[in-house]
């Protein structure tokens, strides 16, 4: 019985012609062929095994059973679901997992892939996997052994056998607050990461820009390296940037550094080792203000300069918040029976029986006792004090949670040995901080510095021309003014009960000098200022005119004895002065361009603004001509006119 290659049988019995004789041999042969063909066919009950290929052409199997072993055929549903790669939740331990795909595999082969859910345990070290009961093989990430945390609990993973002994994994589920953990990742387009990105290797590189123009490399327990040469240290406490303590900024580059901002505040310790500035000049203590190109640099912290042996520059513009720190400006002159201002910006307060004189002597602000107060009563108080304007303290953020830390330093040379006190007080006189210092040897220059974190509460003014902070040096105080040391407290308290009485002998001198109040935790050398700089600061609070060369601007003659004269102030005053003081009017003359000089017999305050004062000048001599221009001038070196009322 014939059958072609497509499985088509030919009729073994072509059309019979009536009367044909049937040969038994032919019939037996054809029946045998039919039996052979049926034997080779697929049994409908599935009992016979197909041993060869079965060409189906455009036909298909239907109603196939689901395969259960690796040697079974797949149903369409199995193929669509890829059930053979799904392994459910991994078994075994955290670092030695097991997978059970269905159907099971009988041997490892490159290219096999599996998907599974990690169990409730995260791996702690290199990890292995055993699939379908076969031997354990390495579970890797791009050829490297897994590190702790890469096989995260409860996450879904895919593994592909690249050899018969290693499975390479990829995490296929990232959600919630869990980090994406990778050891190698290349993104050619934009990437947005809404959660943590963890780089596990200590040598991991995070590149920026074309050709990785900027590279940050993390070094274990050291910090971040910028291009492997410019260190930005975070782990080492001595290298913190913008940290609350021990802040150091190291600039060790030999390249030029340009600062083009309007102002640059450096509140850290600045360590400069061979750094050049915008103009190519080496940064040193002599050019700390103007050598940095177009920038203004305010050094508010500690300078450590490898160039000049660690000696701090003496001129940090605006570093010291105390005006006239050594009393070199004394426009009023020596004061006797003192109870008020003597050297510019410094006032002596006297509540009690003692009487003192005040002057600037040998570079010291000096108070000497002329009448004693041998027993300080509860309400007695003696002090030397300066009020700092709010415009000069607003950056200290006093009264806020961000209040800064300051250091005050000074020299003292008192006759009376023992404990003395300094206090900080607000403008409202209801918040204070007291600290103690000791004069160890009588009439010997000694130095003290104190670091204080400013008040985080209380009432303090901001950037105004009022009192931002008052600094008191106590020379004696009764119990009414005594408080605790080293703490911010309520009240107008200026000393502790340990304060000695500097007013108990006419032989006593109370002297201080070189007072400096600066931001930071270290006392630096006293800020150097020229005489004219210090004078200009003091003239904001007291415009004074002294000697024969100080003339008023032209005024107007009102009568034969009166001139209205205007004095132009050298700087704008804090507020408009409210009065005028002339120690001896006979030291002044007045007149006009045509008349004889007249001796001044009276000077009265008329009005003032921030830049000039208007006074009424009288002369009993007469002889002035009304409506002519007139003026007033000093006729001896002792001539002095003070416009008062602008002091704090």
pLDDT value at 447 more than 90 = yes
Within this chain, do residues 558 and 416 fall inside the same structural domain, yes or no? no
CA 43 – CA 159 distance, rounded (Å): 41
Domain boundary pick from 123, 153, 171: 171
CA 324 – CA 514 distance, rounded (Å): 9
Within this chain, do residues 513 and 369 fall inside the same structural domain, yes or no? yes
Three-class SS state of 156: strand
* pLDDT of the residue at 106: 87
pLDDT digits (tens, 9 = 90+) for 163-175: 889 999 887 666 5
Q: Is residue 361 part of a domain?
A: yes
Within this chain, do residues 369 and 473 fall inside the same structural domain, yes or no? yes
pLDDT digits (tens, 9 = 90+) for 265-323: 454 445 444 443 333 333 433 333 333 333 344 444 444 443 344 444 555 668 999 99
Q: Is residue 634 part of a domain?
A: yes
Within this chain, do residues 377 and 522 fall inside the same structural domain, yes or no? yes
CA 55 – CA 43 distance, rounded (Å): 16
Within this chain, do residues 563 and 455 fall inside the same structural domain, yes or no? no
pLDDT digits (tens, 9 = 90+) for 373-431: 999 999 999 999 999 999 999 999 999 999 999 999 999 999 999 999 999 999 999 99
Q: Is residue 99 part of a domain?
A: yes
How many domains does one find in the chain?
Answer: 4
Within this chain, do residues 521 and 560 fall inside the same structural domain, yes or no? no
Segment among 4-18, 83-97, 129-143, 399-413 with least mean pLDDT: 4-18
Residue by residue, DSSP assigns 176-200 as: TTPPEEES----SS----SS-EEE-
Three-class SS state of 483: coil
* pLDDT of the residue at 43: 64
Q: Is residue 591 part of a domain?
A: yes
Domain boundary pick from 119, 151, 171: 171
pLDDT value at 462 more than 80 = yes
- The CATH code of the domain that includes 608 is 2.60.40
Q: Is residue 120 part of a domain?
A: yes
Within this chain, do residues 385 and 423 fall inside the same structural domain, yes or no? yes
Within this chain, do residues 486 and 572 fall inside the same structural domain, yes or no? no
Of the pLDDT bands very low, low, confident and very high (cuts 50, 70, 90), residue 16 is low
Within this chain, do residues 354 and 490 fall inside the same structural domain, yes or no? yes
**47, two tokens:** 């009992």
Q: Is residue 163 part of a domain?
A: yes
Within this chain, do residues 354 and 483 fall inside the same structural domain, yes or no? yes
Q: Is residue 56 part of a domain?
A: no
pLDDT value at 40 more than 50 = yes
- The CATH code of the domain that includes 345 is 2.60.120.260
pLDDT value at 246 more than 50 = no
Query: Residue 420: phi, psi to the nearest 5?
Result: -120, 165
pLDDT value at 146 more than 90 = yes
Handedness of CA 224, 226, 227, 230 (dihedral sign): negative
The pTM of this model reads: 0.56
Within this chain, do residues 576 and 553 fall inside the same structural domain, yes or no? yes
Give CA separation, 549 vs 154, 532, 642, in Å: 91, 17, 15
Of the pLDDT bands very low, low, confident and very high (cuts 50, 70, 90), residue 186 is low
The percent of the chain in helix, strand and coil, each rounded to the nearest 5, is 10, 35, 55
> Between these two residues, 20 and 524, which has the higher pLDDT value?
524
* pLDDT of the residue at 62: 64
pLDDT value at 540 more than 80 = yes
Q: Is residue 596 part of a domain?
A: yes
Average pLDDT for 519-544: 96
The mean of the pLDDT values for the chain is 80
Burial zone of 336 (CB within 10 Å; 0-12 exposed, 13-18 middle, 19+ buried)? exposed
* pLDDT of the residue at 122: 93
Strand order in the sheet with 223-226: 205-208, 214-219, 223-226, 230-232
Within this chain, do residues 350 and 486 fall inside the same structural domain, yes or no? yes
Q: Show the domain range for 518.
A: 340-535
């Amino acid at each position: 019985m014939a059958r072609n290659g497509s499985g088509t049988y030919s009729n073994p019995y072509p059309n019979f012609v009536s009367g044909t004789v049937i040969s038994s041999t032919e019939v037996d042969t054809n029946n045998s062929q039919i039996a052979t063909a049926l034997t080779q066919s697929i049994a409908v009950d599935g009992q016979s095994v197909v041993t060869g290929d079965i060409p189906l052409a455009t036909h298909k199997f239907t109603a196939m059973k689901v395969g259960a072993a690796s040697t079974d055929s797949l149903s369409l549903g199995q193929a669509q679901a890829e059930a053979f790669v799904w392994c459910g939740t991994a078994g075994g331990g955290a670092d030695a997992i097991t997978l059970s795909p269905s159907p099971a595999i009988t041997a490892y082969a490159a290219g096999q892939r599996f998907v599974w859910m990690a169990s409730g345990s995260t791996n702690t070290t290199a990890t292995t996997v055993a699939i379908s009961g076969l031997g354990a093989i390495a579970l890797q990430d791009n050829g490297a052994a897994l590190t702790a945390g890469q096989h995260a609990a409860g996450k879904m993973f895919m593994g592909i056998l690249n050899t018969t002994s290693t499975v390479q994994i990829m995490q296929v589920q990232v959600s919630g607050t869990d980090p994406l953990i990778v050891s190698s990742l290349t993104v050619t387009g934009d990437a947005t990461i809404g959660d943590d990105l963890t780089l596990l290797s200590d040598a991991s590189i995070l590149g920026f820009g074309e050709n990785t123009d900027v590279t940050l490399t993390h070094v274990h327990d050291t910090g971040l390296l910028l291009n492997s040469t410019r260190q930005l240290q975070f782990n080492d406490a001595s290298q913190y940037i913008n940290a609350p303590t021990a802040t150091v900024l190291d600039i060790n580059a030999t390249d030029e550094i340009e600062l083009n901002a309007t102002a640059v505040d450096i509140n850290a310790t600045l360590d400069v080792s061979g750094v050049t500035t915008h103009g190519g000049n080496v940064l040193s203590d002599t050019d700390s203000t103007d050598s940095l190109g177009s920038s203004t640099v305010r050094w508010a912290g500690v300078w450590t300069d490898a160039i000049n042996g660690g000696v701090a520059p003496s001129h940090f513009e605006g570093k010291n918040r105390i005006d006239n720190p050594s009393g070199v400006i004394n426009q009023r002159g020596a004061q006797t029976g003192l109870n008020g201002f003597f050297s510019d910006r410094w006032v002596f307060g006297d509540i009690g029986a003692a009487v003192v004189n005040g002057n600037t002597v040998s570079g010291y602000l000096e108070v000497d006792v002329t009448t004693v107060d041998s027993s300080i009563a509860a309400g007695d108080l003696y002090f030397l004090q300066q009020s700092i304007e709010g415009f000069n303290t607003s950056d200290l953020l006093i009264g806020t949670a961000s209040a800064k830390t300051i250091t005050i330093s000074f020299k003292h040379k008192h006759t009376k040995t023992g404990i003395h006190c300094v206090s900080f007080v607000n403008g409202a006189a209801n918040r204070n901080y007291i600290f103690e210092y000791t004069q160890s040897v009588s009439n010997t220059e000694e130095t003290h510095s104190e670091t204080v974190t400013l008040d985080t509460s209380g009432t303090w003014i901001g950037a105004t021309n009022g009192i931002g902070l008052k600094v008191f040096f106590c020379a004696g105080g009764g119990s009414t003014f005594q408080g605790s040391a080293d703490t911010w407290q309520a009240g107008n308290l200026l000393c502790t009960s340990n304060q000695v009485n500097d007013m108990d002998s006419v032989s006593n001198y109370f002297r201080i000098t070189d007072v400096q109040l600066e931001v930071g935790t270290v006392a630096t050398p006293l800020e150097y200022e020229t005489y004219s700089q210090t004078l200009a600061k003091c003239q904001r609070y007291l415009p004074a005119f002294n000697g024969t060369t100080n003339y008023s601007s032209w005024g107007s003659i009102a009568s034969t004895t009166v001139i209205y004269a205007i004095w132009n102030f050298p700087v704008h005053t804090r507020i408009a002065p409210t009065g005028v003081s002339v120690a001896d009017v006979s030291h002044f003359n007045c007149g006009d361009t045509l008349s004889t000089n007249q001796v001044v017999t009276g000077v009265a305050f008329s009005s003032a603004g921030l830049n000039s004062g208007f006074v009424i000048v009288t002369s009993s001599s007469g002889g002035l001509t009304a409506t002519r221009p007139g003026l007033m001038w000093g006729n001896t070196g002792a001539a002095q006119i003070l416009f008062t009322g602008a002091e704090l």
